[in-house]
């Protein structure tokens, strides 16, 4: 079952990065690439959408 750990698996706790640091890295990456960054609000919306899509793909489909 996806998301389940094997008995011998090592569980590594997830420590989310500081959002402000991630934002600064994103802006710097865009600057270096010559890309126009999206607003912080748009970025948060995209992250929420991607997170929901990934979570949905990991769930076991319901069979009727």
What is the per-residue pLDDT across 25-44, written as a single tens digit (0 to 9) for each?
999 999 999 999 999 999 88
Give the span between the Cα atoms of 23 and 3, in whole angstroms. 28
pTM (global) more than 0.75: no
Alpha-carbon distance of 27 to 35, in angstroms, equals: 9
Report d(CA 55, CA 19) in Å as an integer.
20
Q: Where are the alpha helices (DSSP H) in the chain?
A: 19-33, 40-58
What are the pLDDT digits (tens) for 3-28?
A: 555 566 677 776 778 888 989 999 99
Buried b (16+ CB within 10 A) or exposed e, 47-60: eeeeeeeeeeeeee
């Amino acid at each position: 079952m996806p998301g389940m750990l094997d008995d011998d698996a090592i569980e590594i706790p997830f420590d989310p990065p500081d959002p402000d640091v991630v934002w600064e890295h994103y802006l710097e990456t865009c600057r270096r690439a010559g890309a126009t960054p999206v607003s912080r609000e748009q970025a948060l919306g995209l992250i929420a959408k991607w997170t929901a899509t990934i979570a949905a793909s990991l769930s076991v489909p319901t069979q009727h």
